[in-house]
Structures are given as structure tokens and as C-alpha cells.
Amino acid sequence: MNPRTARRLPLLVAAVIALFLAGLLDAAPGAAQSANNPPPPLAPRGRLPQLKTGTDPRFEMVLIHGLGGAASEWDGLVPYLMGTFKVGNFELAGHGKTQPVMDPTVESEAERLGQFLRTSGLTYPTLVGHGMGGMIALQYTLDHPNEVHRLILVDTAPRQLAAAEQKLDVGRQLVEDYDGFVGRHYALMSPDDEIAEHILDMALRTHAPTFVSLLMSSFDFDLTPRLSTLSAPLLVIGSELMFPDPEQTQPRLSTYGFDQARSLSFKRFGKTGHYIMLEQPVMLASVLMAFGVTAGYQFEP
């Protein structure tokens, strides 16, 4: 199916995919080219005030992209965050410029995140995870409660919502038409043609076995029983793709499993697809800065 044709399918279909993969969609065969041929960056949209140079950031922040993405998807935000935060950009194995590892899982990537923090000299960061990156950030925060300042999840659910039949169907599609599966679903991740093509390009460059391994590991992902123990302040950011009706925010948060959290803040981004950092980088940077510095900051729904 042509990606532009797929993009005309109902938004609900895209939402189901985004929820099922919790931001995880990924890759295509031959994606080993990604390390040598990263997709061109998109120009940041909007403006933020010029940052003062020569300042020593008081806080730390680590950005973690989703499955099928790359560290470069945060490029539009990093310049604005650096005046306040020492910024780390964690890239999943087999994505972007990072070499694959054998049989990665959510848990093993959380361990790699810990290694990244130690080698980067980051001791008490705010973790920002998009999609599967949010799963990894949540896993790490629950496993290391004293090492995370704040946690921000972007279009991430604390549990996998797919039924057994859906999982079997996805597995069948991956075997029968891997490229087609990726093309159909990634083309739906943004209503903006340019951004959608960029997202699809990143996905098609991702290491295919990595996609399969991480996706399969996510099928049993469920951290809701541990959410009540989460001590780090939590902000959930939801796109219109995952939260199409602002009046239904609370029921949807409950459906996704967030009703088990001790407490959380929530911010909805309207008129956006799954990749908020590419569609509304200025606004997203502002929200990350506000919560990363002041956990009690009140956001408009």
C-alpha cells in the first residue's frame, strides 16, 4: 500500500497501532544501512527565546526515542534544553548510528541505559521516554528508584494492550510482508506528509531483527503492579493520536494502566500525531523544561 494512501485510513486505526506498539513500530529488512545513511534532520518548527551561553546546567535530562526512531528525532529540542539541563541522548541498539546487539529486550535495553548513564557521568537525571523508550525509562526507574529525578512518558503505556489474536496476526504480517507492515503503519504516525515520510525513513533504516526482538519482548510488558511504588514524580504526555477526545482523558489513562500510579501529571498535545517532538518541538521543549525543573507544575489538559 502506498504510504500516502495508508495515511488516509481512519485515525482510529493509527491510534490502535500506536497503543498496541506503545510507540514501538520499527524497522525493515536491510536496515543495517542506518548507521551509514541516517535520514536528513527536519528543520525545527517554531521559535524559543535565545539561550544564554556559558551557563552551567543545574539539572540533567536523558532523551530516549521509540522503536523505529533514532536519537536524531530529538534534535529540534536539544538546543533549548541545554541551557537548563545537561542533556544525554540514549539511542536504542540497532537504531540510528548504534550497532545492534543480540536479542534485545525491554529489560536488556534498560540495563544498557544504566551503562549509558554511568559512562556519561549522569547521576540523577530526568528520564524522557517516547513510546518504547518510555517503557525502557519506566523499567529503569522502577528498578533504580533512587537514581531518577523525574520521569516523563510520551505516548507510552505501562502495559501492552494487545490481545493474543492481535499478537499472532502481527507476527504473521511480519513474516509475510515486513516492508509492507512497516510502511502501512508508520505512514499513519503523523498527519504531516513531510514528517510522516521522515518517520517512515527512520523506521525502514532500523535493524530488522532488533525490531522483532524488542517487539516480541514487549508483548508481555506490564509494569502496572509496580506503579504504586514509583517514587519519582511522573508526567504523562499524550498526543491526539492516543487521546483523541480530551473529555475522555481520565478513562483512557485508567484503561492504559495509569490508575495504578501513586500520582501523575498529564499534558495532552492536540492536533498532533505520535511524533510530538517532530511536530511541536517548541511546545514539547517548554513542557519538558517546566516539569524537569518543577515537578509540581500545573499543565493545562
| pLDDT surpasses 60 at 24 | no
Residues 6+ apart with CB under 8 A from 50: none
Residues in Cβ contact with 45 at an 8 Å cutoff, skipping those fewer than 6 apart: 76, 279, 280, 281, 282
Q: Is residue 298 part of a domain?
A: no
Residue 298 confidence (pLDDT): 62
Half-sphere exposure in the Cβ direction for 66 (13 Å, CA): 28
In a domain, 251, yes or no: yes
Residue 299 lies in a domain: no
Residue 29: predicted pLDDT = 30
Query: Which among 267, 258, 269, 271 is positioned nearest to 298, based on CA atoms?
Result: 267
Give per-residue pLDDT as tens, 184-235: 888 889 989 999 999 999 999 999 889 888 988 888 899 999 999 999 999 9
Give the residue numbers spanning the domain of 267: 3-293
Residues in the chain: 301
CA angle 269, 211, 110 (to 5 degrees): 70
Confidence of residue 25 (pLDDT cuts 50, 70, 90): very low
pLDDT digits (tens, 9 = 90+) for 282-296: 999 999 999 998 766
3-class DSSP state of 216: helix
Q: Quick one: which of 284, 295, 236 has its CA closest to 80?
A: 284
In a domain, 77, yes or no: yes
- How confident is the model over 36-69, as pLDDT tens digits? 444 444 443 333 333 333 456 789 999 999 999 9
- Split into its structural domains, the chain has a count of 1
For residue 75, being part of any structural domain is answered with: yes
Rounded Cα distance between 31 and 12, Å, is 28
250 with 186: CB under 8 angstroms?
Answer: no
**Residue 184 included in any domain:** yes
Amino acid present at 132:
M
The CATH number of whichever domain residue 256 belongs to comes to: 3.40.50.1820
Is 243 inside a domain boundary? yes
Residue 300 lies in a domain: no
Residue 245: CA count within 13 A, CB half-sphere: 6
**Mean pLDDT throughout 83-91?**
94
Q: Which alpha helices (DSSP H) does the chain contain, by range?
A: 3-6, 11-20, 78-81, 106-120, 132-143, 164-176, 178-186, 193-205, 208-218, 249-256, 276-279, 281-293
